[in-house]
Amino acid sequence: MAYATGNGGDHASTASIAELVQQLSEQTSRLAHQEVELAKTELAAKGKRAGIGAGMFGGAGALGFYALGALTAAAILGLATGVAGWLAALIVALVLGAFAGALALRGKTKVQQATPPIPEQATESVKEDVRWAKTRAQTARR
C-alpha cells in the first residue's frame, strides 16, 4: 500500500492498523471455529448422559415388570398354600423391586445432569471472547 503523505510515520501506523485488523479477523475466525467444536463436544457428552439415563429408566421398567410378576406369583402361591412358596416369591419380588428403585433413582440423576441441553461452557467462553475482542478493539483505536 502506498500512500501519498508527507510523513513516513503515517504509512507505518496505517500498515500496522491494517495488520492488526487482519490478525483480529483471523483470530476471530479461528476462535469461532474452536467455539463451535467445543459446543459440539459438550452437546455430545450431554447426549450420552441422557442416553445412559434413559437406558437406566428402561432397565428400571423391566425389573419393575419382573417384580410385578413375582408379586403376582407370591399372591397366587400365598393363597394356594399359605406356606414357604409364597414367602420365597415375595422375597424375590422385594429384591427386584429394590433394584428397580435404585435404577430409577440413578436414571433420574443422569437425566438431570444432562439437562438443560445447552452448551454452557461454550456459551460462557463465547461471552468471554466477545469481551476480550471489544477490549482489544478499543485498545487498537487508541
Indicate the residue type of 108.
K
Angstrom distance (rounded) from CA 89 to CA 94: 9
Examine residue 103 and state whether it is found in any structural domain, yes or no.
yes
Contact 63, 96 (CB under 8 A): yes
Contact 103, 95 (CB under 8 A): no
Examine residue 12 and state whether it is found in any structural domain, yes or no.
yes
- What are 33-89's pLDDT values in tens digits? 888 888 888 888 888 888 898 899 999 999 998 998 888 788 777 766 755 776 777
Examine residue 2 and state whether it is found in any structural domain, yes or no.
no
Find the domain containing 39 and state its range: 8-141
Examine residue 115 and state whether it is found in any structural domain, yes or no.
yes
Residue 76, C-alpha cell as written in the block = 397366587
> Model pTM?
0.42
CA 9 to chain centre: 52
Contacts of 108 (CB under 8 A, 6+ apart): 53, 57
Its sign, for the CA torsion 63, 67, 70, 72, is negative
Indicate the residue type of 138.
Q
Examine residue 1 and state whether it is found in any structural domain, yes or no.
no
Using the predicted structure, report yes or no on whether residue 5 has a pLDDT greater than 50: no
**What was the pLDDT predicted at 83?**
58
Angstrom distance (rounded) from CA 95 to CA 99: 6
**What was the pLDDT predicted at 10?**
52
Using the predicted structure, report yes or no on whether residue 11 has a pLDDT greater than 70: no
Please give the torsion angle defined by the CA atoms of residues 67, 73, 76 and 82, in that order, rounded to the nearest 10 degrees.
-90
User: Into how many domains does the chain fold?
Assistant: 1
3-state class (DSSP) for residue 81:
coil
* Residue among 61, 41, 56 at smallest CA distance from 110: 56
For the chain, the average pLDDT equals 79
Average pLDDT rounded to a whole number, residues 2-18: 57
Confidence of residue 2 (pLDDT cuts 50, 70, 90): very low
Which segment of 55-59, 81-85, 104-108, 131-135 scores lowest on mean pLDDT? 81-85
Examine residue 3 and state whether it is found in any structural domain, yes or no.
no
